[in-house]
Structure 1
Amino acid sequence: MPKSQPVPLHREDPDKPELVGNIKVTREDWLNVARDILVSDGVGEVKVLTIGQRLGVSRSSFYWYFKSRKHLLEALLDDWEARNTATIVSHCRMPARSINAAVCNFFRCFIDPDLFDQGLDFAVREWSRRSGSVRQRIDAADSTRLQAVQEMFERYGYAPDDADARARILYYMQLGYHALEVREPMSARIDRLEQYLVGFTGVAPEPEDIEDHKAFCLSVGSG
């Protein structure tokens, strides 16, 4: 399963303003460590004491930012939606010269870990197996994401029923690709890109669609 990308604590990041007074960690620090624990160990291990030990602070710091563990878990879900669902929606709405270029924008979310946290997405899905309320949020997020992909196809002239089917094929394939933990170099995926795009859109891509996407892949170190 993909892992979330560790984020330096505020006090360890030279780009962040210096902490003053008795503040040793920030709300973002609590969320970052909670997210890492959620991804690596599951929601059952997201505990105030455990997070505090990793941060090197007392429990009182936690209650400065959160009312309770439940409040922290709600914040984690909000963070997940902002990181992952909002990213997919925004990339589906990005201007593109063709449907194939638009699909490549969608692919970017799953190539750059700064755009879409795959480990976090799977951790929340695993969490939803044990929580009906989290299951509802997963279902709502998937519906929002699928709607964005469908609207992307419709903008390029696809009929609603056709756009709906293509959106589901594209979205479910992409999630399944990572759920199966397919191991292959990015160069192999790029070699298949033209055929993938034809399969998803029914339209042969222009050479610049392939070259632009390849350049993006190499720019994020995935090649």
Structure 2
Amino acid sequence: MVRADNRLTADDWADTALEALESGGLAAVAVEPLARRLGATKGSFYWHFKNRDALIEAAVLTWERRGTEEVIAAIEAAPTDDPAERLRRLFERVIEHGTTHRIEMALASSADHPLIAPVLERIGKRRIDYVAELFVAAGLSPEPARGRAVICVSVYYGMTHLAHIAPDALPRTRAERRALVDATIEGLLA
């Protein structure tokens, strides 16, 4: 993780904090172990952050940007104007990520933390709003679109949870996951 010029950035610290959070939960976001992991000193940490809370905040904001805003931007940049296809692409992407990464679960386990709770709430709302926009673009009126968006986001969170507690319950191959996504989207668009 150390850059070629040996100068760490705040982003380097936030990325490493996210990795620690994903693998060990919020308790794993501790300055000294992160400094060792980065081959840095605590002084480097304090150059970029006032305290551990500032690092946690930077890490979850990085996750918010990557896990929500950049995903939405990528779906919007896809070469299709078909909202149903955008829904499929979004669902495939997030299901794939949710079944292979633990960050959602790690953050959910700290959902009552004062720095994490507002970010999780904002992200949940943003995800629902975006999916609702896609359903409206696909021809649904706003109220049913919002209800179906809640279902979609709930399915994502549920599949993410299942991937870690009962992985054998989920489709194993990309083709099987694609079939599940297609059936889910077709059912919700009907």
Give me the TM-score of the superposition, normalised by structure 2: 0.83
For 2:100 and 2:120, how far apart are their aligned partners in 1?
Answer: 15
Query: For residue 162 of structure 2, what is the aligned residue in structure 1?
Result: 180
Deviations 1:104-149 (A, max 9, x none): 2212432565x998422222221223x1442222112101110111
Where does structure 1 differ by over 6 angstroms across 4 or more consecutive aligned residues? none
One-letter amino acid of the counterpart of residue 27, structure 1: A
Say if 1:92 and 1:149, in contact at 8 Å, map to a contact too.
no
Do residues 103 (structure 1) and 91 (structure 2) align? no
Gaps in structure 2 of 5+ consecutive residues: none
Q: How does 1:23-102 map to 2 (within 5 A)?
A: 23-91=6-74, 93-94=76-77, 96-102=80-86
Do residues 159 (structure 1) and 141 (structure 2) align? yes
Give me the TM-score of the superposition, normalised by structure 1: 0.72
What secondary structure sits across from 2:109 in the alignment? Answer: helix
Identity of aligned pairs, percent?
Answer: 24
Q: Which shows bigger deviation, 72-81 or 189-198? A: 189-198
Say if 2:111 and 2:120, in contact at 8 Å, map to a contact too.
yes
Decide which of 101, 111, 124 is 1:128's aligned counterpart: 111
One-letter amino acid of the counterpart of residue 36, structure 1: E
Do residues 197 (structure 1) and 179 (structure 2) align? no
Structure 1 residue 180, shift from structure 2 partner: 0.7
Aligned length: 183
One-letter amino acid of the counterpart of residue 177, structure 1: M
Q: Which of the pair is proportionally richer in helix?
A: 2
For 2:144 and 2:126, how far apart are their aligned partners in 1?
Answer: 18
Say if 1:94 and 1:102, in contact at 8 Å, map to a contact too.
no
Say if 2:84 and 2:138, in contact at 8 Å, map to a contact too.
no
Pair 194,79 (structure 1): closer, same or farther in 2 beyond 3 Å? closer
Structure 1 residue 193, shift from structure 2 partner: 4.4
What secondary structure sits across from 2:50 in the alignment? Answer: coil
Gaps in structure 1 of 5+ consecutive residues: 1-8, 12-17, 203-223
Say if 1:33 and 1:51, in contact at 8 Å, map to a contact too.
yes
